[in-house]
Structure 1
Amino acid sequence: MTGLSLYDATADGTASGVIRRYSTSFGLASRLLGPAVRQHVENVYALVRVADEVVDGPATEAGLTADESRRCLDELEAETERAMAQGFSANLVVHAFARTARATGFGPELTRPFFESMRADLSASEHDQESFDRYVHGSAEVVGLMCLRAFLTGHSYPESTRALLDEGATRLGAAFQKVNFLRDLAADFEHLGRSYFPGVDVTTFDEATKLRLVADIDDDLRVSGEVIPVLPASSRRAVALAHGLFAELNRRLEATPASSLIRARVRVPDPVKVRIALQATAGRVASVPDHRPPPPGASL
């Protein structure tokens, strides 16, 4: 292996190393993907992780000011767009991501909302409903769509089915992001000065507010879970595992008193992760509570 093929392989290997270092849950789920799909998802994750690190700590620890971090993020976005257009970058993570974008058919329509949300973390300390929805779309929903483009490469679906899959991908991405916001409520506020959920104050956070947020997440998980069986076999088990892990985490958040939630970080124990992985491998999609009220006249 020489020349561009060696460079491509090196870039892919660099991207794969990022997910192994940063996320045990996504690393576990990615192992259930078909090999070609797995590499694309790892390439997406690597760029997302690097951009997130620019705004979430390491850049500040290295001595960058907020303005310098913003310039760094702008440069990363510009390099990403050039690489998607040209097919090459001297940044190995960007090169791997661009290869995936070109192979699976997405471009700036998904990366620009993502970088917009990353920039918001450098200036916005709290959100109203409109800015929250925009932030979740850019930081999570478009990432779900990037992964879906990889899942569907080489597969043909009717437009109506693809629309359902798009909805499932965006709702699953939103659920992941909201679970992380809820789990990290106190840490985001105390260490980063951020409050993501509109109208939610950590100092007055109560059980009713927590249950409302849990129910909203469950709704996203329920909708996304319904379309998992429609996915290609090469990605179905991995998505079922990621869905199951976050459904379990949301159940644990629901069971944790609000007063405790703002003091301790809830996690899924490793033995439970293994159980969920075995269920996903067997083709089972986690059940999620339906918080919608019954229709008028329904029997109780």
Structure 2
Amino acid sequence: MNGTRAGVATGLALYDQAATDAAATIIARYSTSFGLACRMLGSRPRPHVRNVYALARVADEVVDGPAEEAGLTPELAGRLLDELEREVLTAIDRGFSTNLVVHAFARTARECGIGPDLVEPFFASMRTDLTTTRHDAASHDVYVYGSAEVIGLMCLQVFVNAGAQHPVTPSPELIEGARRLGAAFQDVNFLRDLSHDGEVLGRDYLGLSAGEDQRAAVCDRIDADLAAAAAVIPLLPADCRRAVTAAHDLFAELAARLRACEPDGGRVRVPDAVKARVAARAMLGFAPRDVRA
């Protein structure tokens, strides 16, 4: 039996809610900044965005430490990613998975029009982390598309389609903005985690060995991507704009601090008081921060 009984979810409705709750728990445990921005989303897109990021977080953990700590070899981790990708694609087709995080993502994918064209590049980039330790410009761009830009595109599908009877394709302007914002987020993370990625994970995503000129070029690229994304945020549905503005501005603040700091000055973060000001500014409806000012 499905639906509700005396106001309480039963059957598939109960299972769906349990899956959504599991995804929300993962986000709450792993990311305070993202969790803050996500809470600013309207009730229509919020659970779906959590579902997207929860799956991405689980896949990321296969390649970024926990799986290795559990004793898995890179070869076995690769097989786990393959299995997870097949499970996700099958769940999108069937509408059900015994894995709660996969089930939550599949529900979102079916409702919002997220298909293999976005899922497959994501898993391809995750597998790259098991085989590639140093990226050049070309492999960086391919990796960033799969690991970050497609996540932005998945979220855009949610923003446009959550609750709609039939999913539609977002406008080219929104697609470009989503990709640029995802790329900016990823490059900020690369720059912030440079020491950890190199010393702990043995990876070099940015190739900054040539010094400050390359670092400045990365910062300039981040600012250009943030500016391009900011220009289209006003085109988003109203119940998404404040959250996306907050996320944009948090990363803009982090990018500015990274540009100003010494390369070996330790891990840069945005203080909680500054995060609160950024969130308050977004909630009041201010436009995204102008990184060119």
TM over 0.5: yes
Aligned to 2:6: none
Is 1:37 aligned with 2:45? yes
Cα deviation for residue 258 of structure 1 reads 2.3
What is the one-letter code of the residue matched to 1:267?
R
Q: Take 1:40 and 1:259, find their aligned partners in 2: how far apart are those partners?
A: 38
Aligned to 1:294: none
Q: Take 2:44 and 2:176, find their aligned partners in 1: how far apart are those partners?
A: 24
Preserved contact between residue 80 and residue 94 of structure 1 (Cα < 8 Å): yes
Aligned to 2:291: 288
Cα deviation for residue 186 of structure 1 reads 1.1
1:72-111 aligned within 5 A: 72-111=80-119
- Equivalent of 2:246 in 241, 249, 272: 241
- Equivalent of 1:53 in 50, 61, 67: 61
Shift in CA distance, 167/155, structure 1 to aligned 2, threshold 3 Å? farther
Aligned to 1:298: none
Shift in CA distance, 80/158, structure 1 to aligned 2, threshold 3 Å? closer
Normalised to the residue count of structure 1, the TM-score between the two structures is: 0.91
Q: Any idea what SS the aligned residue of 1:35 has?
A: coil
- Equivalent of 1:207 in 209, 212, 234: 212
1:139-178 aligned within 5 A: 139-153=147-161, 154=164, 162-178=171-187
Preserved contact between residue 207 and residue 257 of structure 1 (Cα < 8 Å): no
Q: Take 1:44 and 1:157, find their aligned partners in 2: how far apart are those partners?
A: 16
Preserved contact between residue 247 and residue 286 of structure 1 (Cα < 8 Å): yes
Preserved contact between residue 113 and residue 167 of structure 2 (Cα < 8 Å): no
Shift in CA distance, 52/5, structure 1 to aligned 2, threshold 3 Å? same
**Alpha-carbon deviations, 1:255-278, whole Å to 9, x = none?**
102242xxx100000000000001
What is the one-letter code of the residue matched to 1:247?
A
Shift in CA distance, 158/187, structure 1 to aligned 2, threshold 3 Å? closer
Q: Take 2:23 and 2:220, find their aligned partners in 1: how far apart are those partners?
A: 34
Q: Take 1:29 and 1:124, find their aligned partners in 2: how far apart are those partners?
A: 32
Q: Take 1:170 and 1:151, find their aligned partners in 2: how far apart are those partners?
A: 14
1:270-289 aligned within 5 A: 270-284=272-286, 285-289=288-292
Aligned to 1:188: 197
Q: Take 1:270 and 1:34, find their aligned partners in 2: how far apart are those partners?
A: 23
**Alpha-carbon deviations, 1:93-129, whole Å to 9, x = none?**
0000000000001111000000000000000001122
Normalised to the residue count of structure 2, the TM-score between the two structures is: 0.93
Moved more, 92-101 or 208-217: 208-217
Aligned to 1:138: 146
Q: Any idea what SS the aligned residue of 1:131 has?
A: helix
Aligned to 1:295: none
Q: How many residues align?
A: 282
Cα deviation for residue 2 of structure 1 reads 1.1
Cα deviation for residue 287 of structure 1 reads 1.1
Preserved contact between residue 60 and residue 126 of structure 2 (Cα < 8 Å): yes
Q: Take 1:111 and 1:157, find their aligned partners in 2: how far apart are those partners?
A: 17
Aligned to 1:125: 133
Q: Take 2:212 and 2:261, find their aligned partners in 1: how far apart are those partners?
A: 9
What is the one-letter code of the residue matched to 1:248?
E
Aligned to 1:116: 124
Aligned to 1:223: 228
Tell me, which stretches of 5 or more residues in structure 2 are unaligned?
1-8
Cα deviation for residue 156 of structure 1 reads 11
Cα deviation for residue 280 of structure 1 reads 0.6
Q: Take 1:134 and 1:146, find their aligned partners in 2: how far apart are those partners?
A: 17
RMSD, aligned CA: 1.7
Cα deviation for residue 68 of structure 1 reads 0.6
What is the one-letter code of the residue matched to 2:57?
R
* Identity, % of aligned positions: 57
